[in-house]
Structure 1
Amino acid sequence: MDPNDIWRTAKLIVDQHGIFAPQECRRRADEFAAAGDTDAQAVWEAIRLAAAELLENGPPQDIPGLPS
């Protein structure tokens, strides 16, 4: 997944789940891990890290299409 897509997905998850966004991403990553899909697990882990960053520091300025 493109890094910009990771950030945009993280923004959507934060908008939907607020401060619980990282936990939701972890839940999804765990589901994919249990199913043996390590690629999807890695994507959701990257989204989790981006969501945590968004919650702590706000959106990066250099991501196209990522509203603040």
Structure 2
Amino acid sequence: MEPIDISRSSKLMVDQHGIFAPQECRRRADELAAADDAEGEAVWEAIRRAAESLLENGPPQDIPGLPS
């Protein structure tokens, strides 16, 4: 997966899951690991790291799950 795709996917995950996006990415990576899909697991781990970065670097106020 291209870096731009990782970035877009992480943004979508944060939009959909708010502060829980990294946990959801980890869950999906774990499912793929259990299915012996190392490539899929690596993609979801990259998306997780990007989502964490988005959340750590001052997420916009419209992200669901953030305290007011």
Normalised TM-score (structure 1): 0.84
Give 5+ residue unaligned stretches, structure 1: 60-68
The reply on whether 1:18 has 2:14 as its aligned counterpart is no
Map of 1:20-59 to 2, 5 A cutoff? 20-58=20-58
The 1:58/1:11 distance shift into structure 2, 3 A limit, reads farther
Moved over 3 A (4+): none
**Matched position secondary structure for 2:36:** coil
Query: 2: distance between equivalents of 1:6 and 1:58?
Result: 19
The 1:42/1:3 distance shift into structure 2, 3 A limit, reads same
Normalised TM-score (structure 2): 0.84
Query: 2: distance between equivalents of 1:26 and 1:44?
Result: 7
**How many aligned residue pairs are there?**
59
Give 5+ residue unaligned stretches, structure 2: 60-68
> What is the alpha-carbon root mean square deviation over aligned residues?
1.2
Instruction: State the 1:13 CA deviation.
Output: 0.3
Identity %: 75
Residue-by-residue CA offset, 1:3-52 (whole Å, 9 max, x unaligned): 01000000000000000000000000000000000000000000000000
